[in-house]
Amino acid sequence: MKKQKIKIKGIPSIIWGEASEFCVLAVHGSMSHKEDRIIEILAAAAGSKGWQVLSFDLPQHGERQGSDALCKPQDCAAELKEIMAYAQTHWQQLQLFAVSLGAYFSLLAYPDEALEQALFLSPVVNMQHLLADMMQAAGVDSDNLKQRQIIPLDNGQTLYWDVYTYVNEHPIHTWPHPTMILYAGHDYLVNKADILSFHQKFPGKLTVYAEGEHFFHTPKQLQKAADWLSEMLK
């Protein structure tokens, strides 16, 4: 498949597929990158329907590993807006595909943008709950975090006071786009109750893959994701 590497405001990006008036913005998840297998699968499914794909590396991922930029919600939401501004000048119609944490960043950045629809794979839709779970597991409360500001965790993650305050000050109230969700029955990270609550509040279709995990990585799981994308993409 044709791949054109570009930079958007310094952000390493790729345009997948042949020239078209239509594009799917692809936002990868944590520990992923703009050329991950799931993005390749998306590009193939989108290309068969005449859509290009625009993917890019979030801070601390892909070509941006080791950079000074941190993968914080407030910063990633700002970057997603830069990507959207570029996309709006190059394509007439846009869809959104986002994975895990990338879905949360998209919820922050794109509530008011023109999107044909959104497709979310294992999406983080309630970051407040996820942070609370992380803090409880680490034995950290808000007073500890406020005092220390930054707390590295044994699992390689880091808690930040500015992220904690930002997340709690920016709950997701608005999301008008039709949203198709593929959720795994064995998702260890995202609470099913949060997915159901989001689905009930906002329009769309929820598909639960009983045998799946949060990270779709086995051949069978990836095939399920490919089938779902082929069905749901416009």
pLDDT tens digits, residue range 51-108? 999 999 999 999 999 888 899 999 999 999 999 999 999 999 999 999 999 999 999 9
pLDDT at residue 144, rounded to an integer: 94
Q: What is the dihedral of CA 122, 168, 76, 111, to 10 degrees?
A: 70
| Amino acid sitting at position 174 | T
pLDDT tens digits, residue range 125-137? 999 999 999 999 9
Task: Express as a percent the part of the chain with pLDDT over 90.
Answer: 95
Q: Name beta bridge partners: 135.
A: none
Query: What tokens were used for 157?
Result: 């993650």
* Contact present, 110 and 76 (Cβ < 8 Å): no
Taking CA atoms, 72 is separated from 30, 40, 96, in Å, by 11, 25, 20
- Average pLDDT value over all residues in the chain: 96
- Going by C-beta distance under 8 Å and a sequence separation of 6 or more, which residues neighbour residue 230? 45, 48
C-alpha radius of gyration, the chain, whole number: 17
pLDDT tens digits, residue range 181-191? 999 999 999 99
pLDDT at residue 162, rounded to an integer: 97
pLDDT at residue 156, rounded to an integer: 82
Q: What is the dihedral of CA 166, 75, 29, 110, to 10 degrees?
A: 80
Vertex 155: Cα angle to 99 and 220 (nearest 5): 40
| Amino acid sitting at position 154 | D
pLDDT at residue 67, rounded to an integer: 84
Would you say residue 16 has pLDDT above 90? yes
Q: How many CB atoms lie within 10 A of CB 126?
A: 21
Would you say residue 32 has pLDDT above 90? yes
For residues 9-32, give the mean pLDDT: 97
How much is the pTM? 0.96
